[in-house]
């Protein structure tokens, strides 16, 4: 049984709509502000709400003139499944701010916020001392369904089946997938995605554990899986849970001595109802859980870990959470004005919120599209 799992597809804004110009007690630093954590390696897992968290991290680093790990060959900076080594700063990354190009010994970074697999040994060689490593996990029963739609995994179906299911619900598409899951998984090895052959193969089963560094060849080794989850538990400073994003961020805020302003957000890249293509039956949820059983184990472990941290937070947690939700609701009202849909491919249809016309700088950074903020980050580092 998953502890306190809320199987919602979106982040909720609740509480009052009031806003005070002064920071509440929980807005202030837990200790001296100089002691706050300023170096973060965020392992951006796929289809987990990681774009929203990545936007928080990008804003935090941009406001403080921090240096980001960015792929110099890609406008979005993503590294995805490129093998990371100690030589990656020289071969792949933009130089840090205020460092002379080619002075590779000084290529040390404050932030990772792009899609990249977790390679801790290599990352420690180019991240600054004291870097905290974090990630986000989502219940596999909904994460896989979202990935299935987004990555158009039904491309693996035979053409006649694909034509028959052209306008079918996600429930019917997944039924077809689970008739021959291993066959369709293998087919994805032969198909391109974003110009790379076989990329979707890694998105199609236990993707969250793969993103966190355990290669597929070890996924059938029970001892390796168990030991690797234990290793992650020791190495990761914070694992956020999508279904409890507000609770997760509040715990992280205290752990890193951040201010409440640092964890304000507006959701990014939420799927439209049309893109969801209907609801999933419980029988299919069970099949999805079984198919992604390693991700379920991973999720259960860190879901329980989150609630232990909530208990350790102290007696003010409920009040601080209520205050945080008030501020989120107020931020949403003040900083957004209408929505727009970004479309790409057959099912990629995501809702984003427009910044309010009279937005101040903070509101603009919070509400603007992920690409706009990433462009700011990249431009600053290219010119810095």
Query: Any idea which of 68-77, 88-97, 350-359, 368-377 has the lowest mean pLDDT?
Result: 350-359
Q: Assess contact for 278 and 170: CB atoms under 8 A.
A: yes
Beta bridge partners of 239: 135
DSSP assignment of 212-234, as one string? TT--GGGTT-HHHHHHHHHHHHH
CA dihedral for 235, 143, 197, 346, sign (positive or negative): negative
Residues ≥6 apart with Cβ < 8 Å to 219: 205, 206, 209, 225, 294
C-alpha to C-alpha distance for 328 and 266, rounded to whole angstroms: 8
Model pTM above 0.75: yes
- pLDDT tens digits, one per residue of 166-186: 889 889 999 999 999 999 999
C-alpha to C-alpha distance for 380 and 138, rounded to whole angstroms: 32
- 144 exposure class (CB count in 10 Å sphere: 0-12, 13-18, 19+): buried
pLDDT band at 269 (very low <50, low <70, confident <90, very high): low
CA dihedral for 299, 301, 302, 303, sign (positive or negative): positive
Quote the pLDDT of residue 249: 98
pLDDT band at 34 (very low <50, low <70, confident <90, very high): low
Quote the pLDDT of residue 13: 34
C-alpha to C-alpha distance for 249 and 306, rounded to whole angstroms: 10
- 163 exposure class (CB count in 10 Å sphere: 0-12, 13-18, 19+): exposed
Nearest to 119 by CA among 46, 233, 212: 212
pLDDT band at 338 (very low <50, low <70, confident <90, very high): confident
Residue 226 has pLDDT above 70, yes or no: yes
Quote the pLDDT of residue 6: 38
- For range 31-44, the mean pLDDT: 82
Q: What is the CATH number of domain 25-151+204-327+375-383?
A: 3.40.50
Residues ≥6 apart with Cβ < 8 Å to 134: 40, 41, 42, 43, 236, 237, 238, 239, 240, 252
The overall average pLDDT reported for the chain is 88
- For range 258-262, the mean pLDDT: 97
Three-state DSSP at 286 gives helix
**Encoded tokens for 3:** 């502890």
Q: Assess contact for 200 and 81: CB atoms under 8 A.
A: no
Residue 318 has pLDDT above 60, yes or no: yes
Residue 22 has pLDDT above 50, yes or no: no
C-alpha to C-alpha distance for 380 and 382, rounded to whole angstroms: 6
C-alpha to C-alpha distance for 362 and 256, rounded to whole angstroms: 21
Residue 24 has pLDDT above 50, yes or no: no
């Amino acid at each position: 049984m998953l502890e306190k799992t809320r199987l919602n597809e979106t982040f909720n804004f609740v509480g009052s709509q009031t806003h005070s110009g002064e920071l509440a007690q929980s807005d202030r630093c837990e200790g001296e502000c100089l002691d706050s954590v300023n170096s973060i390696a965020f392992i951006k897992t796929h289809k987990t709400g990681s774009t929203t968290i990545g936007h928080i991290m990008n804003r935090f680093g941009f406001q403080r003139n921090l240096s980001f790990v960015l792929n110099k060959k890609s406008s979005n900076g993503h590294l995805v499944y490129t093998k990371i080594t100690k030589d990656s700063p020289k071969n792949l990354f933009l130089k840090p701010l205020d460092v002379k190009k080619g002075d590779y010994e000084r290529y040390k970074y404050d932030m990772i916020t792009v899609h990249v697999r977790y390679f801790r040994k290599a990352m420690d060689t180019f991240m600054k001392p004291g870097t905290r490593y974090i990630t986000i996990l989502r219940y596999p029963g909904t994460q896989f369904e979202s990935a299935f739609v987004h990555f158009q995994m039904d491309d693996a179906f035979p053409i006649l089946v694909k034509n028959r299911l052209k306008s079918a619900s996600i429930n019917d598409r997944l039924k077809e997938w689970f008739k021959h899951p291993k066959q369709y998984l293998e087919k994805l090895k032969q198909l391109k995605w974003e110009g790379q052959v076989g990329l979707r193969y890694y998105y199609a089963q236990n993707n969250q554990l793969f993103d966190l560094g355990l290669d597929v060849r070890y996924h059938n080794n029970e001892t390796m899986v168990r030991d690797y989850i234990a290793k992650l538990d020791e190495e990761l400073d914070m694992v956020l849970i999508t279904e409890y994003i507000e609770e997760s961020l509040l715990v992280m805020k205290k752990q890193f001595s951040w201010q409440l302003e640092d964890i304000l957000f507006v959701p990014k890249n939420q799927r439209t109802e049309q893109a969801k293509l209907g609801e999933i039956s419980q029988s299919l949820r069970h099949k999805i859980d079984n198919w992604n059983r390693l991700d379920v184990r991973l999720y259960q472990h860190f879901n329980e870990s989150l609630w232990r941290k909530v208990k350790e937070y102290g007696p003010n947690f409920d009040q601080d959470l209520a205050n945080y939700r008030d501020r989120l609701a107020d931020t949403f009202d003040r900083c957004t004005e209408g929505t727009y849909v970004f479309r790409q491919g057959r099912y990629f249809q995501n809702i984003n919120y427009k910044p309010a016309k009279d937005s101040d700088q903070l509101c603009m950074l919070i509400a603007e599209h992920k690409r706009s903020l990433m462009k700011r980050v990249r431009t600053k580092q290219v010119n810095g």
